Amino acid sequence: MSKPRAATTGDSAWAQYQRTARLSSTTLILKGGPIFDPAKVAANPQDYLLDIFEHEAEAAALWQSRRRRDRDWSEGEIRLRYQGAELLPFGAVDHVLALWCYLLHVVEEFLDTGRGKTYYPDQPLPVVLETVKHKVFFSTDETRVMVEPVPFLDSLLDEAQRFFAWAQSNLAEPSMDREIAQLRERLAQL
């Protein structure tokens, strides 16, 4: 992969936007018991899911309460948006802590080989970041979006760092700063 060139005055607005587009995320946790119908979650997320950043204290208390019963509990959903496109399927409730770790693994594999792949922790939903004919695509299930690799990966690492900082602060999870810093160093070499 070559390093993206700087914008020039001859660039189209779209080309300039591509090089600066950022990914954003929302991490939500499950309010109640198990979900048997993902379509209901997708249709009425506010009834089933709680945003950990919008409702930080409530989310931390809920997560800690659930962990007293199940040490590995982290049921919820991650939403990733890039250029207005939702990258992960709505209603795909799974272990968000593990999924954030898996997303970092996808980045690492991509930086190693040009292709990173994982699955949701408890579902057969693939998450793939790959180079195809000199273009980079992020895909999951039936979604496939072309991404500009450096700004996309940089912002994905920002969002992962934000999540792991929340988890460290609110749940006493170990820091992932070193791992993310190592991925950033490798990304800077693209």
pLDDT tens profile 173-183:
999 999 999 99
Place 38 in a pLDDT band, splitting at 50, 70 and 90.
Answer: confident
- What phi, psi does 137 have (nearest 5°)? -125, 140
Amino acid at 72: D
Residue 133 lies in a domain: yes
Residue 1 lies in a domain: no
So what's the pLDDT on residue 12?
67
**Token pair 């040009």 in the structure block, residue:** 114
Residue 15 lies in a domain: no
Domain count, the chain: 1
* Residue with more model confidence, 37 or 147: 147
The domain containing residue 168 runs over which residues? 22-188
